[in-house]
Chains A and B, each alone.
Chain A
């Protein structure tokens, strides 16, 4: 990993394994009475959220605080951003405050990339979800969760189901899981697979049933309400029938297979309540693991090296 984490594509296999191994060590912290390390004392992490995402923000906030970093939350609502301040001016403000890392969530694909490469800030930039592009820490926490249940991911079959076209989670997972040697199958109606998906390192299918028999894990993606009236599929009911993980499909999964969802879920739509609450659902565990993985990312980006200091480039993770 370089100075920034913008895309899963930035991670080599060794980079990814280093994050996952580090997260494994930090994960044990969650079980201790005092959940705090002094590692990033004196460092400042800014959570710059142009989109509402309480769960991702508090996950990063918890991660930074458990490493003793100072955390500044900067959200679009109630800030100068809602008054039309540009990304550049916001970035310059954060730079002036001495941010060492900026965790950015933005509705526009590429905004973190822009922040990292524009020269506006010298801090490390972590992509916490940009538009319909990527969400690399979600992919890392998913890989982490998968590894805890399945061991080495090489050769493992992971089925990702749903709105791939608009999903930053799917993009980041497809890249990262392929890097880790997993066999990824994306399942969606043809309207929700991007043009050009054939160039991705994955298999694709329009048929969920045929993709369940041999899979080791199935990851359900959230279907946004705004897709429902835009002719991507005829109705929520039909989507649910063809692409929902209902009880019948759940029974067809191999016994060891786990069920994942990045949240928030539409119960009864892409996933049935029974499946979501089953013992093989790791959805709540994903949230716990999210903190450990984000701690690992911040730790590797900011500690030990001078990664966040001016003039240093390509600090190795």
Chain B
């Protein structure tokens, strides 16, 4: 792979001067031999990065990414998707299982894992399918995937809901044997047949079939009860409604091992955008109302929602350049996630940078059992570091992307923050804002 020659040598040492670690007082960080070292030991030939005004975070970890390979290499590949991840400040992504073939065997997850390693831009952690072919009928060989080289810990039928209550119960129970977690795409299928957008005032006006909040909340309520009953770990994907936040808050209050994620787009965009009928805004779960957005922000701020996950979902132009009903669901997210979080959570005073690190690195790494990631930036830790310039402002251009796809819903928006550098095991994948 030619990419290796472009990547900084792992032997190179980086001295990050005067960076604000988690938004704190400026200090130096030294990255060498894949680790954080004592800055006092900086060698003379260390590459110095001027950290004035930059915030240092542990490398970001995404629990929910669609890399599309194998099967839809016209939309994204592991290589291009992990480049987009690095550009967005991520050092680990979880590659969802809804590929073609589905990642429901040890063979497929190992293929994705190896492609990620070859690309070298971030740790690619394959997510295993819960059921064979995402069919919702029979459990996939979860144990084989867990014990493969890919060491899968997160299992999800994302895109489809494990709607069968017995199958969901068994899956939750079964993964306890290897400390796995079931990441549920909560969507009651019968309540959402042909659903096109959030069910509410806008769907009534626009004549589009509604996707009611209750279809998400009913599954979350059931799954929380199941997780409590069998004592297993449930992770709720892309929480999108105010009611879901309440349910998760309730389940956590019971002491059950329930975690949840919210996407950047659900923190910012609302269903009013659907009035354009531009399929750029078609996504599953759909964009909701301003009240939902407010509840999601509050839930992320108070820790009810554990983390931000992108649900980065690349689609080729022809799948979006059509009428709403025919369009694919999903939007890009890796390269804008941190900016959207800064805009919606930091600049509004809801989160400080230490909490951003918690929600975008520490907690997702813990949920996915990504061992070396999401660690405190202290001497001896693996050198996964993201440097962000919070004072930068950019107008989002869809064409300025490492992704193969262009379905960027933020195009034309002015967003704060810029990823200046990303280090994966001490190696710069992004430096001076440029992919290496």
Given A86-B322, A108-B323, A196-B200, list of 7 further CB < 8 A pairs? A111-B323, A111-B325, A114-B322, A114-B323, A134-B207, A194-B210, A195-B212
Bound-state CA distance A224–B323 (Å) is 23
Given known pairs A107-B325, A108-B324, the reply for A117 and B204 (CB within 8 Å) is: no
Bound-state CA distance A121–B288 (Å) is 31
* Contact across chains for B325 and A88 when beta carbons are under 8 A apart: no
Given known pairs A109-B208, A117-B276, the reply for A86 and B321 (CB within 8 Å) is: yes
Instruction: Chain B residues near A196: list those with CB within 8 A.
Output: 199-205
* Contact across chains for A113 and B277 when beta carbons are under 8 A apart: yes
Report the interface size for chain B: residues with CB under 8 A from the other chain. 24
Instruction: Chain B residues near A199: list those with CB within 8 A.
Output: 201, 204-205
B318 adjacent to chain A (CB < 8 Å): yes
Report the interface size for chain A: residues with CB under 8 A from the other chain. 26
- B residues contacting A by CB (< 8 A) are 196, 199-210, 212, 276-278, 318, 321-326
Bound-state CA distance A199–B196 (Å) is 20
A261 to chain B, nearest CB (A): 20
A–B Cβ pairs within 8 angstroms, 19 of them: A87-B322, A106-B323, A107-B325, A109-B324, A110-B206, A110-B323, A110-B324, A110-B325, A111-B323, A111-B324, A113-B276, A131-B325, A133-B206, A133-B207, A194-B210, A195-B200, A195-B201, A197-B204, A199-B204
Instruction: Chain B residues near A88: list those with CB within 8 A.
Output: 321-322
A168 adjacent to chain B (CB < 8 Å): yes
* Contact across chains for A131 and B204 when beta carbons are under 8 A apart: no
Bound-state CA distance A54–B209 (Å) is 26
Of residues B199, B202, B207, which shows the largest number of chain A Cβ atoms within 10 Å of its Cβ?
Answer: B207
Q: Looking across the interface, which residue of chain A has its beta carbon closest to that of B210? A: A195
Bound-state CA distance A88–B209 (Å) is 23
A66-110 contact mask (Cβ, 8 Å, vs B): 1 or 0: 000000000000000000001110000000000000000011111
A132 adjacent to chain B (CB < 8 Å): yes
Bound-state CA distance A131–B202 (Å) is 15
Given known pairs A114-B277, A195-B212, the reply for A109 and B325 (CB within 8 Å) is: yes
Bound-state CA distance A134–B209 (Å) is 14
Instruction: Chain B residues near A130: list those with CB within 8 A.
Output: 207
A130-144 contact mask (Cβ, 8 Å, vs B): 1 or 0: 111110000000000
A200 adjacent to chain B (CB < 8 Å): yes
A176 to chain B, nearest CB (A): 14
* Contact across chains for A195 and B199 when beta carbons are under 8 A apart: yes
Instruction: Chain B residues near A117: list those with CB within 8 A.
Output: 276-278
Instruction: Chain A residues near B199: list those with CB within 8 A.
Output: 195-196
Bound-state CA distance A194–B324 (Å) is 19
